[in-house]
Amino acid sequence: MAENKKWMPRWFYQMASPRWSYEIMGKLMPWFAIPAAVLLVLGIAWALAFAPQDYQQGNSFRIIYIHVPSAILAQSCYMLMAVAGAIGLIWKMKVADMVAKSCAPIGATMAILALATGAIWGKPTWGSWWVWDARLTSMLILLFLYLGVIALHSAFESEATAAQATAVLALVGLVNIPIIKYSVEWWNTLHQPATFTLTERPAMPAEMWVPLLIMVIGFYCFFAVSLMMRTRNEIIHRERRASWVRELIEKQ
């Protein structure tokens, strides 16, 4: 195998440079921050004030506009964490480790938000805050995986060892993602089937799912911004002895 053959596009190797990553993230951030603010404000206003209520659940249905985006994000964030962890393991890329580390608290927050809104929604509709069905339980396991990743990371003195250990844990936990997704199809659950799927039109009318889609995209943009902020922070912290970071600090 040719030693100098490049397997990945150029930006992939550039990403290995903390300085390049720091700068590109600084440039990209406004492109996500503004859409995040616009979409979330628009989506929330539309969802709470203008979207119709549900014929069975009335207004309590509106919690879906927080519940579904946060649940989707919690899973996407986990996948990103595992992929970044794998890149860190294989290519020994420090920035990938930092991205993986930054994902965990955001994902854990999203998982808590999804579980909490789900419980609040469950009480008036199902009649129970919590049921040990496959969907709810696997989502709780996702939260524990996030907490495990955070705890494991802080248990190591060395950042490199911590990154390796957490990447392995994240990869092992990856098996939970398809379980969450298909739990409502494989087993009898109290939880209803998926609201959004990639292949089919949503079962609900457009005036209900368009604001939901706006919220999902808004959540993704918000996630991108907070991930970049955390990663930039992490880069500055870990590269604090590098000359370019010193220069950056002196400039301010």
Partner 1 sequence: MNPKRKQRLIIVLFIVFGVGIAVGLTMFALSQNINLFYSPTQIVNGEAPEHTRIRAGGMVVEGSVTRDPNSLKVSFGMTDYAESVTVEYTGILPDLFREGQGIVAQGVMDEAGIFQASEVLAKHDENYMPPEVAEALEKAGNMPKPEAEEFNK
Where do we find the tokens 């420090």? 94
The verdict on 13 binding partner 1 (CB under 8 A) reads: no
For residue 221, which of 89, 4, 69, 87 has the smallest C-alpha distance? Answer: 69
What are the distances in angstroms from CA 213 to CA 2, 40, 64, 66, 242? 46, 11, 11, 11, 43
For residue 175, which of 206, 142, 224, 127 has the smallest C-alpha distance? Answer: 142
The verdict on 194 binding partner 1 (CB under 8 A) reads: yes
Considering only residues 42, 119, 152, 179, which one is a binding residue for partner 1 as defined by CB under 8 A?
179
Residues in the chain: 252
The verdict on 214 binding partner 1 (CB under 8 A) reads: no
**Contact range with partner 1 by CB under 8 A, out of 73-81, 155-163, 203-211, 234-242:** 203-211
Residue 156, both tokens: 């190591």
Contact call for residues 12 and 84 (beta carbons, < 8 A):
no
Contacts with partner 1, 90-119, as mask; x by CB under 8 A: xx----------------------------
Q: How far apart are CA 124 and CA 246, in angstroms?
A: 55
In the window 134-153, what residues touch partner 1 (CB under 8 A)? 134
Closer of 97 and 239 to partner 1 (Cβ): 97
Q: Please give the residue ranges that form the binding site for partner 1 (CB under 8 A).
A: 1, 3, 5, 7, 52-57, 61, 64, 86, 89-91, 124-128, 131-134, 168, 171-172, 174-175, 179, 185-190, 192-195, 202-205, 207-208
